[in-house]
Structure 1
Amino acid sequence: MATMPKSLFWSRVDTAGSDQALFDDRRGLAVRGVALAADPLPYTCRYELVADESWSAARLEVGVEGAGWLRTLRLERAAGQWRASTAEQGDLDAALAAAGRPGAGLPGTDDPGRLDDAIDVDLGASPLFNTLPVRRLGLLDAEPGTTHRIVVAWVQVPSLLLAPAEQVYTALGSGRVRFESEGFTAEIQLDAEGYVVHYPGLAQRYDVGR
């Protein structure tokens, strides 16, 4: 396994948790990440992402594991179409029920064709994935007020339910973008390379020496 030259680390602010992404962005983007969270029940999420030189997502592999259950998802785009495969061990719904939480449903999707308009992928609660549309659409250098409405392949965590989601990104200048999706809005602060520094209500990045 090749080493990665860069690393980013975020602390969750909405629950106990963290997310570390090890990555190489010299030609497109290759990422290996691990996210931990305590809500809706404690889990570890491991993910691998590959995006091409246009910053369009090509492949995402995710594994989420908690006490007594494990789910995996592989999502790959070829010839303009997404293919998804999933696996499950144990019973996440039973674990959620024991914690007094609603059931998760089945991982993946029964109709990958619903994702045909998606160029980006978004892994729930992981700040790294906002960088894909920011870089692909050139939002860091765009005039303030420039708006893009996109469809992403949204992977919910910990269920790994896969669905299309409409998102709106608006350039605000000074390294900020406004993110909107399904009634939710956040003003995200980015660094000079388009990686999230602060995501209100979700995560704050830890930088050595800060």
Structure 2
Amino acid sequence: MPKSIFWSRTDTAGSEQALLDDRNGLSARGTLLAVDPVPFTARYQVATAADWSASRVEVEAEGTGWMRRVTLERAAGRWRVTTAEQGDLDAALVAAGHHRAGLPGTDDPDRLGDAIDVDLSGSPLFNALPVRRLGLAGTPADMPRRITVAWVLLPGLEVVPAEQIYTGIGPGRVRFASGTFTADIDVDADGYVVRYPGLAERIDPR
């Protein structure tokens, strides 16, 4: 992979590194580490079409005594979702004082039918998919763009449809909104997150 990006989490102890090739759409693999709600490592691979619409995403999350995997593949406007699970994530969550996780994947992939993008919770890389697809990185203030994403929740890997709004608010600035949450994200000329308030900051090599 010709590019590498590294982020430090600011909402919890953790980090993410992505290795990627974006010369014709995006092909990337990455590793995300976090300690909340339980310590876990997530490894992902993502591929998009040339227009940056997601075509395949695979995520594997693992912690003490458990492992889960989900794969999303999009073809002919429909998503196919497959999962695998070992161990007991719920036991780890309950022991840490948290609620049980949902089942990995979704019981009805057709609920994701309107989703063109995939979002992985806690990962700043995945914001680049709609930013690039909608051409928001270098534009002046623009109209809000309302999209539906297939949202992969960590660490349980449940997949749910989620409505998000992206608005270009000037070169290098994008406003993200979902429900009552809003954040003004700094991005570089290629659409990758530089600073996501309350989530992550990019660490560039000196």
| TM-score range relative to shorter protein | over 0.9
CA deviation after TM superposition for structure 1 residue 122, in Å? 0.2
* Cα separation, 2, equivalents of 1:105 and 1:53: 33
**Match of 1:178, as an amino acid?**
R
Alignment match, 1:173: 170
> TM-score scaled by structure 2?
0.98
* Cα separation, 2, equivalents of 1:181 and 1:69: 30
Secondary structure of 1:142's match?
coil
**1:14 is aligned to 2:17:** no
* Cα separation, 2, equivalents of 1:142 and 1:111: 37
Alignment match, 1:121: 118
**Match of 2:57, as an amino acid?**
L
Alignment match, 2:143: 146
Retained in 1: the 8 A contact 2:163–2:178?
A: yes
**1:186 is aligned to 2:206:** no
CA deviation after TM superposition for structure 1 residue 182, in Å? 1.5
* Cα separation, 2, equivalents of 1:68 and 1:179: 35
Alignment match, 1:53: 50
Alignment match, 1:112: 109
Pairs within 5 Å for 1:2-151: 4-151=1-148
Alignment match, 2:154: 157
Gaps of 5+ in 2: none
CA deviation after TM superposition for structure 1 residue 142, in Å? 3.1
**Match of 2:118, as an amino acid?**
V
CA deviation after TM superposition for structure 1 residue 141, in Å? 3.5
Gaps of 5+ in 1: none
CA deviation after TM superposition for structure 1 residue 105, in Å? 1.9
Retained in 1: the 8 A contact 2:138–2:171?
A: no
* Cα separation, 2, equivalents of 1:19 and 1:6: 14
* Cα separation, 1, equivalents of 2:157 and 2:86: 13
Secondary structure of 1:139's match?
coil
> TM-score scaled by structure 1?
0.97
* Cα separation, 2, equivalents of 1:135 and 1:174: 13
CA deviation after TM superposition for structure 1 residue 64, in Å? 0.1
* Cα separation, 2, equivalents of 1:193 and 1:44: 27
Runs of 4+ deviating beyond 4 Å: none
* Cα separation, 1, equivalents of 2:142 and 2:45: 33
Q: Please tell me the root mean square deviation across aligned C-alpha atoms, in Å.
A: 0.7
CA deviation after TM superposition for structure 1 residue 33, in Å? 0.2
* Cα separation, 2, equivalents of 1:118 and 1:170: 18
- Percent identical: 65
